[in-house]
Amino acid sequence: MLATIAGIGILAWWVGFFDPETCVPEAQQAGWTSCETIARERTIALWVLVSVTILGAVITLIRRPKKKR
């Protein structure tokens, strides 16, 4: 279930509204996070979500009950 939720998080990240290429320095306000910091944090979040998805899928496959013959 956790892998499914993380997978949905990846989709949400993919369709996210923040595009660092269109973030201009003039739009930034003093005291707020910079465009580069936001882009870096989004990349970290993506890798965390991918890791959780893969870990959840592996755990699910390992803990799957084995069929009796």
- pLDDT, position 23: 73
Tokens of 7: 């997978």
Taking each helix axis from N to C end, the angle separating 35-62 and 2-14, rounded to the nearest 10 degrees, works out to 150
Query: C-alpha distances in angstroms, 61 versus 13, 58, 66?
Result: 26, 5, 10
Render pLDDT for 44-55 as a digit per residue (tens, 0 to 9): 988 898 898 899
pTM (two decimals): 0.67
- Show Cβ contacts of residue 23 under 8 Å, excluding neighbours closer than 6 positions: 35, 38, 39
- pLDDT, position 31: 72
- pLDDT, position 27: 65
**Residue 7 to residue 10: CA distance in whole angstroms:** 5
Q: Which residues of the chain have pLDDT under 50?
A: none
